[in-house]
């Protein structure tokens, strides 16, 4: 309680009691300020820790797709990427393969062949022996030889073998009398089914092709940017220690790539491609069975584009537009679901190896975050004490890693190891599984 003016004038003319009370209040305020700052600091670094853990999951999962193989002298740190050769099975874009299952010449699913593919697949599943792969792995990855068409591509399923002569006439536009015999309703339904399934395929295959290109480019980037101890710099080698490049990827490259991937889906590129595909009216027929090249002879026909535009304007509101809207959510869920979940179930040991080799960068990110929070929460000199101490502790913990890093940089600068110039990857084919 503050003394009254009369009491102060009589018993404390020098103001000693008020000075003591004021000093006590200042000390109490200082203690409360310190407590509040410490609380804010702890909450902030806890939030940073959670974000770093979340980023570790994302970054390590991406690296699980792109981290190159390497072999060490003692064999303890060998790495064999089991996921990179499976990109075509995870993100299929071949019209003949599942989930599209299109007949190579017509570019639509063949009803008779679909029944045969289904029967073979069921027999294979019933006779297959148990293996070590989990249920989730089998569901996220397509079988190499699977040609079964799935919904919604089954909307275009037609009896191609039985009606081949009629369809040939329809394609050449020589005689339309068969339409009256076959039925105007059925013919219209076939045209709509073919148009719709081709438009959906156009979107999903293009986006998957882009995603696979990005992942393969990241692997090639890691190979070429990591100096090689071998003389032939035009070929991928397994002697480079990609742990260094993995840390660089986690700290500098992957954040940019991940933001671009998120932006790609937020901007709705997939749905836009689907609508453009419906107008483009591409028929996904191949030049030869089992080939990779598609017949582009009809793509530039103005009549086909006008036909696609007419179908889009007439039937789009009840067909292609709803599918495009749904794909805005479906495509990112499918992509990021496989990107973030598949590595954990496909090869947890590899995931762990990558995680532990990028721990230095993850801890560095956490340390930088902690230093920034210290400067935001505390005043001098406490902020400098916390920041300097954090980096000193980091240097002590990762002293060996930093020493090896400087040795690699020195060897690179001295031209003892050279930067590679690999132009093409060797493992872009599908897995044999």
Total domains present in the chain: 2
Rounded Cα distance between 379 and 386, Å, is: 11
Residue 394's SS3 state is helix
Pair (13, 149) in one structural domain? no
pLDDT at position 126: 59
Tell me: pLDDT of 18 over 60. no
Pair (141, 52) in one structural domain? no
Average the pLDDT over 103-110 and give the result.
84
The number of C-alpha atoms within 13 Å of 115 and in the hemisphere containing its C-beta is 6
Asked whether residue 402 is assigned to any structural domain, the reply reads no
Pair (101, 87) in one structural domain? yes
Asked whether residue 265 is assigned to any structural domain, the reply reads yes
Pair (308, 251) in one structural domain? yes
Asked whether residue 286 is assigned to any structural domain, the reply reads yes
Residue 154 CB neighbour total at 10 angstroms: 17
Pair (86, 213) in one structural domain? yes
User: What is the span of the domain harbouring residue 161?
Assistant: 67-357
Instruction: State the burial class of residue 118 (Cβ atoms within 10 Å of its Cβ: 0-12, 13-18, 19+).
Output: middle
Rounded Cα distance between 44 and 47, Å, is: 5
Asked whether residue 417 is assigned to any structural domain, the reply reads no
Pair (90, 56) in one structural domain? no
Asked whether residue 366 is assigned to any structural domain, the reply reads yes
Asked whether residue 96 is assigned to any structural domain, the reply reads yes
Model confidence band, residue 429 (pLDDT cutoffs 50, 70, 90): very low
pLDDT at position 430: 42
Asked whether residue 147 is assigned to any structural domain, the reply reads yes
Tell me: pLDDT of 391 over 60. yes
pLDDT at position 237: 79
The number of C-alpha atoms within 13 Å of 199 and in the hemisphere containing its C-beta is 31
Tell me: pLDDT of 168 over 70. no
């Amino acid at each position: 309680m503050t003394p009254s003016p009369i009491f102060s004038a009589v018993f404390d003319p020098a103001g000693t009691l008020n000075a003591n009370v004021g000093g006590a209040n200042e000390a109490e305020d200082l203690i409360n300020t310190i407590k509040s700052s410490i609380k804010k600091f702890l909450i902030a670094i806890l939030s940073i820790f959670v974000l770093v853990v979340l980023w570790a999951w994302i970054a390590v999962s991406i690296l699980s797709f792109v981290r190159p193989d390497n072999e060490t002298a003692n064999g303890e740190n060998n790495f064999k990427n089991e996921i990179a050769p499976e990109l075509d099975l995870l993100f299929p874009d071949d019209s003949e393969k599942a989930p599209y299952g299109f007949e190579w010449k017509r570019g639509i699913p063949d009803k008779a062949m679909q029944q045969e593919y289904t029967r073979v697949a069921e027999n294979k599943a019933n006779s297959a022996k148990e293996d070590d792969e989990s249920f989730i792995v089998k569901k996220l990855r397509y079988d190499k030889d699977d040609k079964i068409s799935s919904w919604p591509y089954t909307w275009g399923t037609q009896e191609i073998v039985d009606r081949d002569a009629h369809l040939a006439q329809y394609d050449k536009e020589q005689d339309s009398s068969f339409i009256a015999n076959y039925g105007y309703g059925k013919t219209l339904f076939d045209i709509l089914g073919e148009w719709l399934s081709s438009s959906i395929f156009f979107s999903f295959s293009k986006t998957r092709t882009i995603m696979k290109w990005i992942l393969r480019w990241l692997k090639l980037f890691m190979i070429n940017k990591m100096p090689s101890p071998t003389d032939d710099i035009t070929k991928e080698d397994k002697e480079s220690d990609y742990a260094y490049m993995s840390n660089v990827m986690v700290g500098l490259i992957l954040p940019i790539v991940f933001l671009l991937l998120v932006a790609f889906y937020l901007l709705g590129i997939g749905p836009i491609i689907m609508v453009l595909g419906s107008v483009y009216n591409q028929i996904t027929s191949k030049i030869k069975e089992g080939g990779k090249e598609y017949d582009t002879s009809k793509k530039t026909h103005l009549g086909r584009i006008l036909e696609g535009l007419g179908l889009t304007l007439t039937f789009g509101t009840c067909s292609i537009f709803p599918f495009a809207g749904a794909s805005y959510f479906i495509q990112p869920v499918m992509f990021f679901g496989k990107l973030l979940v598949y590595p954990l179930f496909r090869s947890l040991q590899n995931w762990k190896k990558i995680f532990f080799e990028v721990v230095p960068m993850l801890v560095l990110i956490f340390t930088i975050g902690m230093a920034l929070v210290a400067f935001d929460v505390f005043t001098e000199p406490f902020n400098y004490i916390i920041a300097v101490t954090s980096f000193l502790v980091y240097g002590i913990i990762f002293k060996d890693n930093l020493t090896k890093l400087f040795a690699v940089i020195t060897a690179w600068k001295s031209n003892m190891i050279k930067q590679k110039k690999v132009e093409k990857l060797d493992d872009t084919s599908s897995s044999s599984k």
